Amino acid sequence: MSRKKHPQAQQTAQAKPLLPDIHSPEDLKALSAEDIPALCREIRETLVHTVTNNGGHLASNLGVVELSVAMHRVFDCPKDHFIFDVGHQSYVHKLLTGRYEQFHTLRQGGGLSGFTKRSESVYDCFGAGHSSTSLSAALGFAQGDSLSGSDAYTLAVVGDGAFTGGMIHEALNNVSRHLRLIIIINENEMSISKNVGRFAKHMAKMRRHESYFKAKKTTARIIYHIPLVGNGIMRGLIKLKKSFKNAMYGSNYFEDMGLYYLGPADGNDYAAVERLLIEAKNQPESCVVHIKTRKGCGYDPAEKDPGFYHGMAPGGAPPKENFSLHLGQILTELGQKDEKICAITASMSEGTGLEAFHSACPKQFFDVGIAEEHALTFAAGLAADGFKPVTAIYSSFMQRAYDQIIHDIALQELPVLMCIDRAGLNAADGPTHHGMFDVAFLSQIPNVSLYTPVTFEGLSLSVKDALHKGRPAAIRYANGGENPQIIQAFYANGQPQDIGVRASYTSSDPLDGVIITHGRITAEALKATELAAEEGLRLGVLLCEYIKPYDRLASEVLPLLPDENIPILFAEEEIRAGGFGMMLSDSLTKISDFRTRPYGILAVDNSFVLQTKAEPIFKTAGVDAEAMLDRIKRMRS
């Protein structure tokens, strides 16, 4: 892969760029304090150039430039452990740890991951593609270091959004004061602390200065050394100070839990951040460092619209017509007519297309934060109370709520509709975001129907059918929109007004094989028919617009199958074990002699699908058109 030159990496008449010469944190520490502002500007230029081209998370990374630089100058990574929550705010960390030369490959096949990744660098101690996991992992490192006698520090950089996830609070409940653990709260959207009036702001500013910390230590040392009464006086002063602070700031959640608290500080003021980190490092106990950063800091468009620049498409393209937006439109139309319909998101209203519903039906819309488990049980409660809840959650996030789907929804047969966004393989975000497990885990759960539309009209029919039946159901669809090739092959005469099985052939067509599939990968199956035709073979494709209940699907598929000697291939972009191919072939066997005919299953086989080359994701996973044709040819031989 050819290396793209960063514009900021070129020699200028004003000064030699700093970032290209930073190959490790040691190079960063060798810089003078006067170099830091220029370095931060270079980092921001690199972020803007790369992310606007490759796509990814820009606003949050622009906000943590000073923090990331300060962390690497004050601490000793990789001996000290840095854990980012979520890992998509680690781009600056990557630039400072020997990955500048590869940074142009960010989120590309065979390139750098958009998240922290243990196999990518020794500086990435823990992979984090989903939110609210950092503190639990950090506790594991800190406790492990304590048990082994290591003097290493563990730093968890926690975005304030992560605090809407329950795992953070579970981990906070388990923090021991004796650990060398530093929890950095990066507040950039919602306020955690309560600051009221000029005096409170002055106090916060004063608490950031080095003189404050020195005076505090000196005072404590003097009082503790007063014979007989020193300890008692100090306890009384601490109690008085806390009461005074609570009156000015409001009760501090972290100090109430017994954690030493530093801040808040301006997270984009390098000197202030460095002072707080040095003070945290000098503490003999676990502590919290609270900073406030500006999303998009230093890049005017991102500061004005941090939402748009949070997760960008390659080239900075605006959102296109897609299944997510159409879901929002469908639910808006239905919700305005039926006040029982409610929409629930786990902090992803824009990503799942629910902003339209939010605007049109605000009382029927609920954003529960990064709490998928809560979202599903909350939906179950609404359903039990006579409402019609619809949850819209990414496939890889839905995994977190597996227990809730079983116990709270399916077991009680409550009519919750789960819309599973980003289903299937997702190349840019990589293995943490591949939506390839939902078919298998939903296939194992009784009472849950599963729809797989490939058109916007099919999505509408699926939503209406599921709501009408009033039973647990899920609808899965990929990121993106309709595929013209699929529409031409199966819907040239218009979309049927029911959900079923569509064939690309007629009963009189002579066939050399049939591919049975569902969802986006149908386009690869159609491509396989074209490749086969070049070799004189004729293949047909069966498209399933729903896949569960499997017994009903099998009864629809069986009459469409050709002569029993013709090979049948089940093709899917999901995990093989317990998935579509295994379940449907088993259901066909129950109602026919299907086992006697040649058939095979092409799916992701016991792999997380790591893209190590610059190639299409279906090829990497071994489920592309060429693989389909090859498998059928082998079955024929």
Active site residues: 295, 372, 400
Helices 230-249 and 210-224, axial angle in degrees (round to 10)? 150
User: Residue 416 and residue 129: Cα distance in Å, rounded?
Assistant: 27
Cα separation of 190 and 237, whole Å? 32
Q: DSSP characters for 536-563? A: T--EEEEEESEEESHHHHHHHHGGG---
CB 473 within 8 A of CB 383: no
Give the whole-angstrom CA distance, residue 295 versus residue 65. Answer: 10
DSSP 14: S
| Bridging pattern class, strands 501-503 and 539-544 | antiparallel
Q: Which residue bears the tokens 């008085």?
A: 240
Partners of 451 in the β-ladder: 475, 546
Contact between residue 249 and residue 264 where contact means Cβ atoms under 8 Å apart: no
Q: What number of CA atoms fall less than 13 Å from residue 375's CA on the CB side?
A: 32
In 3D space, the residue among 565, 563, 568, 559 whose CA is nearest the CA of residue 591 turns out to be 559
Does an H or E element contain 335, and which? helix 323-337
Q: How far apart are CA 294 and CA 268, in angstroms?
A: 7
* Structure token pair of residue 540: 């047909």
String of DSSP letters for 39-107: HHHHHHHHHHHHHHHH-B--HHHHHTHHHHHHHHHHS-TTTSEEEEESGGG-HHHHHTTT-TTTGGGTT
The pair of three-digit structure tokens given for residue 267, joined into one six-digit string: 């997270």
Burial class of residue 16 (count of CB atoms within 10 Å of its CB; 0-12, 13-18, 19+): exposed
CA distances from 420 to 366, 396, 399, 415, 443 (A): 17, 9, 10, 16, 14
- Listed in sequence order, the DSSP H helices in 518-624 are 522-534, 550-557, 580-591, 617-621
User: Whose CA is closest to 295, among 433, 160, 194?
Assistant: 160
Rg (CA), the chain: 28
Query: In this structure, what token pair is assigned to residue 40?
Result: 């931060």
Q: Using DSSP, state whether 487 is helix, strand or coil.
A: helix
